[in-house]
Amino acid sequence: MDDWQNVVKWSIAAHLLLVGGGLLMLVLVAGMLRQRRNPATSAAWLMFMLVLPYIGVPLYLLFGTRKLAGLKQRKAHLFMADSAPREPPSDPVQRYLQSMHVPPPVAADAIRFHAGAGEARRALLDVLHGAHQSLDVCVFILANDAFGREVLAILSERARDGVQVRLLLDGFGSFLLPKWRLRALLQAGGRVAWFIPVLHRPWRGRTNMRNHRKLAIADGRWVWAGGRNIAADYLDAEANTHWHDLSFDLQGAAVLHYWRLFDADWRFAAHEEAPAPVSSSVSSATGSHVQLIPSGPDMVGDVLHELLVMLVAGARERIQMVSPYYVPGEVLQTVLAVAARRGIAVDLILPANSNHWLADLARNRYLRQLVEAGASVWLFPDAMLHAKAVVIDGRYALAGSANLDLRSLFLNFELMTLFYTPADIGRLSHSIEALRGKAVLWKPRRPGVVRETLEGLVLLTAYQL
């Protein structure tokens, strides 16, 4: 009798588990179909969950979400000062960005593109030491090396001086930083927040999202930004001469836009509602204008990807691109190939060997297609090229934190700055041309069956690279 009762109990439990699993699958599939994503990606997730539900469902809960809930609240705070109705601009690029609720171009003073690691390091330290009221730092990697410890010591000192210090670290990028390294900063009155820690409630579907932005803001009047992390590889010319990157600093009214973006990220990570105060004393800029292009799961659309597609499709003479990785997806790849076929000079500069060999393997199929279409691919030898910049026809220039890969374009929280002033665009174009002068023109070789198969396998997981 007891055995029969146990069988009934197990049957009921199995039935409830099956029904619950089925309902969960329906909820997940409905949510997936409502998301704006590649149909092939949705089909792959669906097949994975159907064939191996006990593995596929947990992995989807961990990694499958591409957009965050509560977009309207974050966007309302970020763009609240720019919400007044504006006349539709005549420039189609501005018309598109306005339709995506991106803040308009704003004046900037004293824009400096850093010539190398030494200059970038000095500029960062100047910003840190130059703060009198508030100091806000957001970085993907804060390394546990000599320079990372130096920056933490400076932040602790500034907090003891009465400066309001906020340090925002990505949970994945800075995972190897020991928490005890932050103790002095916290004891001095500074504040630290982790953006989606690795060890968190994973079922919220945010495990795969990373804040890849790099910012240091002093008093809401001076910002240091770009693609460099806070580590010796990026900022210590003596420690590592084989790492090339791009960063810049500026002052003026534009800094308030950078601060708003930082504050929105801080409130998300620190679970705060009210924004912290920021100094309103910004200089009156003349000449230069910049525009922030934020992208990521907190935006309704894929602003950066769509902007790149629009700029490439409208190019008339030349496209200059530099990136550490190149796995762009089919749409951006297609418009680049079409641009090359219609006679546009397309120059793409990449490291000969990056710090991610899987990304190097994945890029080859795209690169062969570009060269076949008439584009020029240049490989930077004997160094890790980590700069991220795009210049179109000498009319538009982008620089910042985003790579030309699927993760940066569709998953990461990224920030690019769009430069409009000819002098600033010219400096960026000259920097890219200087890199091209040191690079070697890539000539593709026909791959074998094994290599093509490996490339295809790696491309299946391109979002995770």
User: Which of these, 149, 133, 213, lies nearest to 182 by C-alpha position?
Assistant: 149
- Cα 382 to Cα 388: distance, rounded to the nearest angstrom: 18
Is residue 90, in this structure, part of any structural domain at all? no
Task: Please state, in angstroms and as integers, the Cα–Cα distance from residue 327 to each residue in 58, 214, 324, 364, following that order.
Answer: 26, 22, 10, 9
Domain boundary pick from 259, 286, 313: 286
What type of residue is 25?
M
Find the domain containing 319 and state its range.
303-464
User: Which of these, 197, 175, 214, lies nearest to 403 by C-alpha position?
Assistant: 214
Is residue 95, in this structure, part of any structural domain at all? no
- Cα 86 to Cα 97: distance, rounded to the nearest angstrom: 12
Task: Please state, in angstroms and as integers, the Cα–Cα distance from residue 154 to each residue in 131, 147, 159, following that order.
Answer: 11, 11, 9
Q: At what angle do helices 53-63 and 39-51 cross, to 10 degrees?
A: 140
Report how many domains make up the chain.
Answer: 3
Is residue 69, in this structure, part of any structural domain at all? no
Report helix, strand or coil for 55.
helix
Is residue 93, in this structure, part of any structural domain at all? no
What number of H helices and E strands is found in the chain?
16, 19
Tokens of 436: 């091209």
Is residue 100, in this structure, part of any structural domain at all? no
- Considering the domain architecture, whether residues 313 and 458 belong to the same structural domain is answered as yes
One pLDDT digit (tens) per residue for the chain, 465 residues: 555 555 555 665 555 555 555 555 565 555 555 566 565 566 555 665 665 565 656 656 555 566 665 544 455 455 544 545 566 777 899 999 988 889 899 999 999 999 889 999 999 999 999 999 999 999 999 999 999 999 999 999 999 999 999 999 998 899 899 999 999 999 999 999 999 887 655 445 466 789 999 999 999 999 999 999 999 989 887 665 678 999 999 999 999 999 999 999 999 888 876 555 555 445 554 578 999 999 988 887 899 999 999 999 999 999 999 999 999 989 999 999 999 999 999 999 999 999 988 888 889 999 999 999 999 999 999 889 999 999 999 999 999 999 999 999 988 999 999 999 999 999 999 999 999 999 999 998 887 777 777 767 776 666 555
- Considering the domain architecture, whether residues 262 and 312 belong to the same structural domain is answered as no
Is residue 317, in this structure, part of any structural domain at all? yes
- Considering the domain architecture, whether residues 157 and 186 belong to the same structural domain is answered as yes
- Considering the domain architecture, whether residues 174 and 275 belong to the same structural domain is answered as yes
- Considering the domain architecture, whether residues 247 and 357 belong to the same structural domain is answered as no
- Considering the domain architecture, whether residues 457 and 393 belong to the same structural domain is answered as yes
- Considering the domain architecture, whether residues 272 and 126 belong to the same structural domain is answered as yes
- Considering the domain architecture, whether residues 149 and 185 belong to the same structural domain is answered as yes
pLDDT at 84 (0 to 100): 52
- Considering the domain architecture, whether residues 316 and 276 belong to the same structural domain is answered as no
- Considering the domain architecture, whether residues 251 and 393 belong to the same structural domain is answered as no
- Considering the domain architecture, whether residues 134 and 181 belong to the same structural domain is answered as yes
Tokens of 124: 């960062």
Tokens of 178: 């020991």
Task: Please state, in angstroms and as integers, the Cα–Cα distance from residue 93 to each residue in 99, 302, 331, following that order.
Answer: 10, 15, 18
Is residue 97, in this structure, part of any structural domain at all? no
- Considering the domain architecture, whether residues 260 and 327 belong to the same structural domain is answered as no
CATH number assigned to the domain comprising residue 270: 3.30.870.10
